[in-house]
Amino acid sequence: MIRRGRDNIILRCRELRQQFIVDMYVKIESERLRYLRYNQQKLRTEEYIHLRDAVANNADTAEIGNSVILPSSYVDSPHHMQEYIQDAMTFVREYGRPCLFITFTCNPKWKEITSLLLPGQNTIHRHDITARVFKQKLKSLINFITKLHVFGSTRCWMYSVEWQKRGLPHAFILIWLVDKIRAENVDSLISAEIPDPSTDQLLFDIVTANIIHGPCRNLNRSSPCMVDGKCTKRFPKDFTNDTVTHVDGYPIYRRRSTENGGQTFIKTISYADIDIDNRWFNAHINVESCSSVKSIKYICKYVNKGSDMAVFRIENTNVHSPPLNQNDEITNYQIDRYVSSNEAVWRIFGFPIH
Q: Where are the domains of the chain?
A: 2-71+324-340, 72-184+283-323+341-354, 193-280
The whole-number pLDDT of residue 51 equals 55
pLDDT digits (tens, 9 = 90+) for 7-35: 555 555 566 667 788 889 989 999 999 99
| Residue 294 CA: distances (Å) to CA of 97, 248, 249, 298, 304 | 10, 6, 8, 8, 17
The whole-number pLDDT of residue 131 equals 94
Residue 180's region, left for phi above 0, alpha for psi from -120 to 50, else beta, is beta
The whole-number pLDDT of residue 32 equals 93
| Residue 31 CA: distances (Å) to CA of 24, 25, 35, 51, 330 | 11, 10, 6, 26, 12
The whole-number pLDDT of residue 112 equals 92
The whole-number pLDDT of residue 149 equals 92
Q: Model's pTM, two decimal places? A: 0.81
The whole-number pLDDT of residue 48 equals 64
Q: Which residues of the chain have pLDDT under 50?
A: 1
The whole-number pLDDT of residue 309 equals 65
The whole-number pLDDT of residue 310 equals 63
pLDDT digits (tens, 9 = 90+) for 299-338: 777 777 776 666 666 677 676 555 556 678 888 888 877 8
Separation between Cα atoms, residue 26 and residue 34, nearest integer Å: 12
